[in-house]
């Protein structure tokens, strides 16, 4: 069974990548339901944008790859830096400072958890169980 993944990307989100990484680090490796709950109560402004990308990734998994949404987990998630808007702040004596308004590219990858195999049984254990049922 190959491990399919679904991905969603939000580009040019108006939040700094450094602040968005605080929220994205909390959901890495978690079940999707747990990740939504964590993001709902995370007091970071970018948590809403991350939740929106996660919701899109889950929808992509369900619609494009027909995955079971109950078994999904956040396989990978990261925030890259986008372009910075440059603004000018006047300072004293005719000078000016550059203010950088940073942007982020948020990526979330979800996958289905591989099913765990049952307890290992040897040929002798199977035969003794069969013998116990007959006798």
Measured from the Cβ of residue 70, the count of other Cβ atoms closer than 10 Å reads 10
**How far is 42 from 46, CA to CA, in rounded Å?**
9
Q: What is the spatial distance between Cα 105 and Cα 59, in angstroms, rounded to a whole number?
A: 19
* Structural domains of the chain, ranges and CATH numbers in brackets: 5-115 (3.90.470.10)
**Per-residue pLDDT tens over the stretch 58-87:** 999 999 999 999 999 999 999 999 999 999
Average pLDDT taken over every residue of the chain: 89
DSSP state of 73: E
Assess contact for 108 and 57: CB atoms under 8 A: yes
pTM above 0.75, yes or no: yes
Q: How far is CA 26 from the centre of its chain?
A: 9
Q: In whole angstroms, give the CA distance from residue 49 to residue 59.
A: 15
């Amino acid at each position: 069974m190959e491990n399919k993944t679904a991905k969603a990307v939000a580009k040019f989100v108006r939040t700094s990548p450094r602040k968005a990484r605080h929220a994205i680090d909390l959901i890495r490796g978690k079940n999707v339901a747990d990740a939504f709950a964590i993001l709902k109560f995370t007091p970071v402004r970018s948590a809403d944008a991350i939740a929106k990308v996660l919701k899109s990734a889950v929808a992509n998994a369900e619609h494009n790859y027909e995955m079971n949404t109950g078994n999904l987990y956040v396989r990978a998630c990261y925030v890259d830096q986008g372009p910075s808007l440059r603004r000018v702040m006047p300072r004293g004596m005719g000078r000016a400072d550059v203010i950088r308004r940073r942007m982020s590219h948020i990526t979330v990858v979800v996958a289905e958890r591989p099913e765990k195999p049952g307890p290992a049984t040897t040929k002798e254990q199977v035969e003794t169980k069969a013998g116990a049922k007959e006798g």
